[in-house]
Structure 1
Amino acid sequence: PALDLALEAARVAIETCAADGGQKIATSVVDSAGVLKLLIAADGTSPRGVASSTTKALTALNFKSPTSQVGQQAKTDKTLADKIAADTTINARPGGILVKVGDEIIGAIGVGGGKTDEPCALAGLQKIQARLK
Structure 2
Amino acid sequence: MLKSKRITPLVLAGLVMSAVGPAVAQPTPPPPRAKGPSLASAVEAAQIAINTCLANGYKTTALVADADGEPVAMLSADGAQLRTHNIARGKVATVIRYKVASGVIMDRVAKEPALAAETKADPKINGFAWRGGIPIMSGGELIGAIAVSGAPGGDKDEACIQPALSKIKPRTN
TM-score range, shorter chain: over 0.9
| Corresponding position of 1:100 | 137
| Corresponding position of 1:39 | 74
Structure 2 counterpart of 1:10, from 46, 56, 65: 46
Higher RCO (C-alpha under 8 Å, 6+ residues apart)? 1
Paired-residue identity, %: 36
| Corresponding position of 1:64 | 99
Greater fraction strand: 1
State the shift of 1:84 in Å. Answer: 2.3
* Dislocated runs of 4+, deviation >4 Å: none
| Corresponding position of 2:61 | 26
Unaligned segments of structure 1, at least 5 residues: none
Unaligned segments of structure 2, at least 5 residues: 1-36
Q: Identify if the C-alpha distance between structure 1 residues 32 and 74 changes in structure 2 by more than 3 Å, giving closer, same or farther.
A: same
Q: Counterparts of 2:114 and 2:92 in 1: how far apart (Å)?
A: 22
State the shift of 1:102 in Å. Answer: 2.1
| RMSD over aligned Cα atoms | 1.3
Q: Counterparts of 2:87 and 2:151 in 1: how far apart (Å)?
A: 10
Secondary structure of the structure 2 residue equivalent to 1:83 = helix
Deviation per residue, 1:68-125 (Å, 9 max, x gap)? 0000011111101122233343241111110001211110001111121111122211
Assess if the C-alpha contact under 8 Å between 2:91 and 2:133 holds in 1.
yes
Paired AA for residue 121 in structure 1: I
Question: How many correspondences in the alignment?
Answer: 132
Secondary structure of the structure 2 residue equivalent to 1:49 = helix
| Corresponding position of 2:165 | 125
Q: Counterparts of 1:46 and 1:92 in 2: how far apart (Å)?
A: 19
Paired AA for residue 101 in structure 1: S
Give the TM-score, by structure 2 length: 0.72
Which of the two has higher C-alpha Rg? 2
Q: Counterparts of 1:88 and 1:119 in 2: how far apart (Å)?
A: 27
| Corresponding position of 2:28 | none
| Corresponding position of 1:51 | 86
Q: Counterparts of 1:85 and 1:75 in 2: how far apart (Å)?
A: 12
State the shift of 1:10 in Å. Answer: 0.5
Paired AA for residue 171 in structure 2: R
Q: Counterparts of 2:86 and 2:67 in 1: how far apart (Å)?
A: 19
Assess if the C-alpha contact under 8 Å between 1:29 and 1:54 holds in 2.
no
